[in-house]
Amino acid sequence: MAGLIKVILNHGENEHNPLTLSDDQILDQIYTTHVHSDTKFDVAPLFSLVENILNRSTHIADNAVQGHTGSPEHVVDKIPANYSSPLCTLKQISSEMSCKPPGEHIAHKTTLSILNKLSSYNWDAKAVLTLSAFALDYGEFWLLAQLQNQPLEPIANSLAILKRVPKLTKPQALRKHRQALVEINNLIKATLQVIEVIFEVESLSSYDTKDVPALVPALEQIPVDVYWSIITIYVARH
């Protein structure tokens, strides 16, 4: 994932570029943002909702780029019962990512800022919460893209204008930004897969590493993977 981000950011081998940091250098910086807590955030229901939103949103975006219509096949939404969304936290994360210029230095600083805000959460929760904040905006955008100009949904037209949906979903705009949309969708799909793996590895942390020695390097890699996941989400938003 790190390699893909570097290509998209299109930077050179600048010694001052934060994206040229080694894993050890990244760990030195992100460990200072982490505060151990005995309270564990339940990641599973939130991740289920995020999967619902992003699987369908990326499908809508793919269709828009290709000029197709239709719903994704064999997709069953997993809706957790009686779930209370951490909405304030998601809005705070979204605010961190909003209205900032693209670029590797800003992406790195924003990632550290988000990690500081989420200092007491487990590493997998940090990644899922950040992806959830992104999903709120990305899902809303493509929902409005579907609803705009429908007579039974007049409020969607005004909301869509505020979100710049018509400007970005006109045929000429889609043609102009086709490659960027494809890359964003690919980033989102890859990030979903990476975070799912992080989530699964984190769930194995209760096992004794003496019995499963292969867990040690996998668990040690999680913070770095979370860093790259968050920076990827920032790039996808910009």
Predicted pLDDT at 15: 46
Q: Mean pLDDT: which of 151-155, 205-209, 218-222 is highest?
A: 218-222
What long-range pairs does 176-185 form, CB within 8 A, spacing at least 24? 178/65, 181/61, 181/64, 181/65, 182/65, 183/8, 184/61, 184/236, 185/58, 185/61, 185/62
Place of tokens 């339940």: 42
How would residue 110 be classed by pLDDT, with cut points 50, 70 and 90?
very high
Q: What is the pLDDT of residue 6?
A: 52
What pTM did the predictor assign? 0.88
pLDDT digits (tens, 9 = 90+) for 46-98: 999 999 999 999 998 888 888 776 666 666 778 888 899 999 999 999 999 99
